Amino acid sequence: MRMGMQSRIGGKSTRFQHFLAFALVLVFLILSGNQNANALPAFARKYGLRCSACHESWPMLNYFGQKFKDNGYQLMNDRDAPIWQNPGYWPVTFRITPIWHRVSTGKVLIDQYAGGVATGTAVQQRLETSGFDLSGLDFHTGGTLEKNISFYVLPSSDPTATFHFETVMGRLDNLFGTPWINIKFGRFELDNLLSEKRILTLTASGGIYQLYHFAPAGDNNLMGAIGQNQLGAELMGHSNDDRTRYSAALVSSSVGNVNLVTTSNAYTGYFTASQAFDTGRLGVDRIGGYAMVGQTSTYYRTSGGTLVPGSGIGNKGFHREGLVGQFYFGQHVDMQVVTQHGWDSAWLGQGYGNAINPSNGAPGGTPLPNNPPGTTLNPGSLAPTWNGVLVEPHYVYSPQLIFIGRYETIRMSRQSNGPSYGPTTIAPNGLEGPTPSNFGDTSTFTIGYRYNPFMTSRAGFAWHNEYNWLHVDGAAPDGTALNKSELLVGFDFDF
Amino acid sequence: MRTRLQTWSLLVGATAVLALPMPSWAQLTQSDLASRMGMESHIGKITGHAKDAKADYRRYCVGCHGELGDGNGENFPWVDPKPRDFQLGIFKCRSTPTGTLPTDKDLFDTIARGLDRSNMPQWSTFTKQERADLVAWIKHFSPRWANEKPGTPIQIPPEPDVTAERIKAGRDVYARVQCWKCHGVLGQANGPSAATLTDDLGRPIAAFNFTEGAKPKCGDTDRDIYRIFMTGLDGTPMPSFADNIKPDEAWDLVFYLRTLMSQNSKEKTMAKQLGLKPVDPNAPAGQQ
């Protein structure tokens, strides 16, 4: 294995390989910086409850808030229907976060100059960037259209005010008079108990759960991200007190993209079940599990040599499964745990699956591979697998001050380029020869706190401080580990 | 001289009396409350401790009920009905006779059930221990619990079978004790007194409308409804009818009230088959 690694470092394709890996990491981090959290003073205003009633610290839900959400944004009393509201009531909340942040990336290839002329060489250097900045802007609007019929619409922008619909859904709740049958339809967040859309951290790397978006290096299955909002329908049910809950969603394998550009007739299922337990003074603790099983297209038909949007076939499978735990240790300390085992088809691991991506590969690099009939896999191709765990403890000093910690680690257990992959063979995904066993292994920790100087039922405001450190094996230009750190402070507010 | 001495004595005495701290609930302070932090509640085998509920109260309850439990939280101006003033120690939903303190279990159940037609949601997400702690916390706001014991829960006899005669008898009770004056002859909360109702603090309050599908605040089982009019809703114009209605008659009234409600029930079906007419306020006593 070491020999193989040395030969790759010396090989011509090494630079491209690491550039690709690094580019993917960068693209991933940039994409993942989009924050869309659901903290709604509009709901607080409607019901006259403080943020803290539903949020451990907004936007993260507590048990009461989860029950409210599971009931279709209803408290299950006579005040739920909009007829009870002032006719002028308009359930809209916006959220934006002015920030100052500093990003330090350990190893970036920097072109060298002599006398104002490029020397043609590049040297690995640490790159630091800092300054004042903005998050994107979210407009949350949600509530009941009628008793047991609710909606949620979330137009969301990036920091340049380019909008998309992050969430658009209608809900029918308590069908046939039972809380066990509720249906939602549209674009929505998958039923993750530890919701990434309600994450308490804001940095590019720490503002997401890496576990929810992980894909092995070179793997082009973007559909396996359980943190991505998806288009589909979900059947969900729960007991009256929400102690027991389940959900089953069927979504298009379109990564939440509209117009069915990125797939054709491929679907993914997402299933969850959990049970909460009364643990006396400790609180209500919950354990559960989830599974995502689906297929995604690998072959996009062409017309005149151009990929036809929505023509994907050649579906290949993938799955994710894991356990979720929400453990409360009294009124001040809790710990959220998520595990994941992931598996992608060898085809996806070899880079097929995302040929229709408009950017289609790294700029200047090889286009992402399509999988037309007759394509064969290198005999050394394996279905990549990995395991990961996420642990997020909180210390809730009071509803107005929360300290946050998180550690995530993801370890590859099988690489897509197996040991028998030809030592000099370049895979469709750009990786050459057998891949080191730790290639793409990711670890990250985040610490921070959020202080809310006031707590009312009208608005949310938090002074936010956070530090994140990210480590990805093999992602540096020279094939070694890439480290990146971020520091962020900001005013996180919504109204 | 004697007159001047008497005058001075009177002035000094009056000043001394006025200078004494008046035992007004509204003047309770954090230090008063701190002295009652040892308050406990007992629900079955669970013992609740006030001191353990501080964080939960602050997180979930303080926005309406206020730091001092006086119902003067930040939402006070915006919610109707107004949040309960725990310092008064007066509660609507009790199993105990009117004028007495509720049992710990009464408060425990109210927290989980919530109060329909108010901003008080169902807090069934708490553990039983947390709820018991909150009961103790609620009790620590009022000095009543330091000086009084809860009333003895009223006895509710087993529910008899519904019959047409019982429903008709219930209608007679509805007429005799003049429920219609507030609740209306059809249970639509439009009786002649409805518009004038106020609670003990002088705030307007609506009678319960049986026909709009809402749940009674203190529970919607037959036993709950029985309990409501036999204990009254303290702090509201709804009195206890324990002295006016015999237990058997109380069940008749429960059955009749079911016929007024919009929800389907066997009582409603039977009333329809009977062609039961609403009470006639002008009919002579006993001739409905």
> What percent of chain A is modeled with pLDDT above 90?
77
Chain B residues whose beta carbon lies within 8 Å of the beta carbon of residue A282 = 127
Cα B80 → chain centroid: 15
Average pLDDT of the segment spanning A115-140:
95
pLDDT-based confidence at residue A26 (cuts at 50, 70, 90): very low
Q: Given a cut of 70, is residue B3 above it in pLDDT?
A: no
Q: Given a cut of 80, is residue A173 above it in pLDDT?
A: yes
> What percent of chain A is modeled with pLDDT above 70?
91
Helix (H, G, I), strand (E, B) or coil at B22: coil
Task: State the pLDDT at residue A28.
Answer: 41
Rg (CA), chain A: 23
Chain A residues whose beta carbon lies within 8 Å of the beta carbon of residue B133 = 281
Average pLDDT of the segment spanning A84-109:
90
Q: Out of B52, B63, B125, name the one closest to residue A49 (CB).
A: B63
Q: Given a cut of 80, is residue B288 above it in pLDDT?
A: no
Determine the residue among B67, B111, B127 to mutate to test chain A binding: the one whose Cβ has the most chain A Cβ atoms within 10 Å: B127
Q: Out of A50, A78, A332, name the one closest to residue B63 (CB).
A: A50
Backbone phi, then psi, for A292, in 5-degree steps? -120, 125
Task: Check A331 against B55: CB less than 8 A apart.
Answer: yes
Task: Check A52 against B79: CB less than 8 A apart.
Answer: no
Q: Given a cut of 90, is residue A179 above it in pLDDT?
A: yes
**Tokens of residue A469, six digits:** 């450190």
Q: Given a cut of 90, is residue A463 above it in pLDDT?
A: yes
Task: State the pLDDT at residue B5.
Answer: 65
If one counts the domains in chain A, the total is 1
pLDDT-based confidence at residue B58 (cuts at 50, 70, 90): very high
pLDDT-based confidence at residue B13 (cuts at 50, 70, 90): low
Task: State the pLDDT at residue A37.
Answer: 42
Q: Given a cut of 70, is residue A230 above it in pLDDT?
A: yes
Task: Check A78 against B119: CB less than 8 A apart.
Answer: no
Task: State the pLDDT at residue A3.
Answer: 33
Residue of B nearest to A331 (CA): B55
Task: State the pLDDT at residue B12.
Answer: 64
**What CATH number did the domain enclosing A340 receive?**
2.40.160
pLDDT-based confidence at residue A231 (cuts at 50, 70, 90): very high
Q: Given a cut of 90, is residue A78 above it in pLDDT?
A: no
Q: Out of A75, A279, A281, name the one closest to residue B121 (CB).
A: A75
Q: Given a cut of 60, is residue A33 above it in pLDDT?
A: no
CB contact A11 to B (< 8 Å) = no
More confident residue, B224 or A18: B224
Q: Given a cut of 90, is residue B7 above it in pLDDT?
A: no
Determine the residue among A64, A68, A75 to mutate to test chain B binding: the one whose Cβ has the most chain B Cβ atoms within 10 Å: A64
CB contact A420 to B (< 8 Å) = no
Residue A106 lies in a domain: no
Q: Given a cut of 80, is residue A123 above it in pLDDT?
A: yes
CB contact A284 to B (< 8 Å) = yes
**What's the one-letter identity of residue A458?**
R
pLDDT-based confidence at residue A245 (cuts at 50, 70, 90): very high
Task: Check B121 against A49: CB less than 8 A apart.
Answer: yes
Kindly report the pTM of this predicted structure: 0.86
Chain A residues whose beta carbon lies within 8 Å of the beta carbon of residue B130 = 281, 283
Average pLDDT of every residue of chain A:
89
Spatial distance between the Cα atoms of A426 and A298, rounded to a whole number of angstroms: 19
CB contact A329 to B (< 8 Å) = no
Backbone phi, then psi, for B112, in 5-degree steps? -75, -35
HSE (side-chain half, CA atoms, 13 Å) at B35: 7
Q: Given a cut of 50, is residue A36 above it in pLDDT?
A: no
Cα B123 → chain centroid: 18
Which residues pair with residue A448 across a beta bridge? A404, A466
Residue of B nearest to A285 (CA): B127
Average pLDDT of every residue of chain B:
90
More confident residue, A82 or A161: A161
CB contact A398 to B (< 8 Å) = yes
Backbone phi, then psi, for B239, in 5-degree steps? -85, 175
Least confident of A268-272, B14-18, B122-126, B162-166: B14-18
More confident residue, B280 or A325: A325
pLDDT-based confidence at residue A362 (cuts at 50, 70, 90): low
Determine the residue among B46, B62, B75, B262 to mutate to test chain A binding: the one whose Cβ has the most chain A Cβ atoms within 10 Å: B75
Chain B residues whose beta carbon lies within 8 Å of the beta carbon of residue A242 = 125
CB contact A86 to B (< 8 Å) = no
Q: Given a cut of 60, is residue A229 above it in pLDDT?
A: yes
Residue of B nearest to A66 (CA): B125
Residue A113 lies in a domain: no
CB contact A408 to B (< 8 Å) = no
**What's the one-letter identity of residue B106?**
D
Spatial distance between the Cα atoms of A243 and A271, rounded to a whole number of angstroms: 17
Chain A residues whose beta carbon lies within 8 Å of the beta carbon of residue B52 = 281
Question: Residue A475 is part of which domain span?
Answer: 2-44+193-494
Task: State the pLDDT at residue A38.
Answer: 47
pLDDT-based confidence at residue A120 (cuts at 50, 70, 90): very high
Q: Given a cut of 60, is residue A19 above it in pLDDT?
A: no
Helix, strand, coil content of chain B in percent (nearest 5): 45, 5, 50
Task: State the pLDDT at residue B11.
Answer: 65
**What's the one-letter identity of residue B128?**
K
Query: CATH number for the B31-147 domain, one of 1.10.760, 2.20.28, 3.30.420, 1.50.40?
Result: 1.10.760
The per-residue pLDDT for range B235-286, each reduced to its tens digit, is 999 999 999 999 999 999 999 999 999 989 999 999 999 999 998 888 877 7
CA distance B158 to chain A (A): 28
Task: Check A49 against B128: CB less than 8 A apart.
Answer: no
Residue A357 lies in a domain: yes
Q: Given a cut of 70, is residue A47 above it in pLDDT?
A: yes
CA distance B168 to chain A (A): 30
Residue A404 lies in a domain: yes
Task: State the pLDDT at residue A90.
Answer: 83
Determine the residue among B47, B49, B59 to mutate to test chain A binding: the one whose Cβ has the most chain A Cβ atoms within 10 Å: B59
pLDDT-based confidence at residue B16 (cuts at 50, 70, 90): low
Measured CB to CB, residues of chain B less than 8 Å from chain A are 52, 55-56, 58-60, 62-64, 74-75, 78-79, 114-119, 121-130, 133, 214-215
Chain B residues whose beta carbon lies within 8 Å of the beta carbon of residue A146 = none
Chain B residues whose beta carbon lies within 8 Å of the beta carbon of residue A78 = 116-117, 214-215
Determine the residue among A71, A284, A331 to mutate to test chain B binding: the one whose Cβ has the most chain B Cβ atoms within 10 Å: A331
Chain A / chain B CB contacts < 8 angstroms: 80
pLDDT-based confidence at residue B27 (cuts at 50, 70, 90): low
Residue of A nearest to B75 (CA): A48
Average pLDDT of the segment spanning A458-471:
95
Q: Given a cut of 50, is residue A15 above it in pLDDT?
A: no
Q: Decide yes or no: CATH 1.10.760.10 for domain B164-274.
A: yes
Task: Check A280 against B64: CB less than 8 A apart.
Answer: no
**Tokens of residue A282, six digits:** 């400790």
Spatial distance between the Cα atoms of B100 and B102, rounded to a whole number of angstroms: 6
Which residues pair with residue A326 across a beta bridge? A286, A336
Which residues pair with residue A139 across a beta bridge? A94
Which residues pair with residue A451 across a beta bridge? A401, A463
CA distance B34 to chain A (A): 19
Same fold, B31-147 and B164-274: yes
Task: State the pLDDT at residue A272.
Answer: 98
Write the DSSP symbol of residue A288.
E
Q: For helices B104-113 and B128-139, what crossing angle results, to 10°?
A: 120
Average pLDDT of the segment spanning A382-404:
97
Which residues pair with residue A128 across a beta bridge? A104
Residue of A nearest to B124 (CA): A241
Least confident of A179-193, A215-229, A239-253, A383-397: A215-229
Rg (CA), chain B: 23
Q: What does the domain layout of chain B look like in residue ranges?
A: 31-147, 164-274
Contacting residues for B137 by C-beta, under 8 A, at least 6 apart: B39, B48, B50, B53, B54, B56, B57
Least confident of A32-41, A45-54, A98-107, B274-283: A32-41
> What percent of chain B is modeled with pLDDT above 70?
90
More confident residue, A455 or B168: B168
More confident residue, A485 or A51: A485
Residue A134 lies in a domain: no
**Tokens of residue A128, six digits:** 């630091």
Spatial distance between the Cα atoms of A65 and A141, rounded to a whole number of angstroms: 17
Q: Given a cut of 90, is residue A27 above it in pLDDT?
A: no
Chain B residues whose beta carbon lies within 8 Å of the beta carbon of residue A286 = none
CA distance A207 to chain B (A): 25
Residue of A nearest to B61 (CA): A53
Q: Given a cut of 90, is residue B104 above it in pLDDT?
A: yes
Q: Given a cut of 70, is residue B62 above it in pLDDT?
A: yes
pLDDT-based confidence at residue B2 (cuts at 50, 70, 90): low
Task: State the pLDDT at residue A31.
Answer: 40
Task: Check B123 against A64: CB less than 8 A apart.
Answer: yes
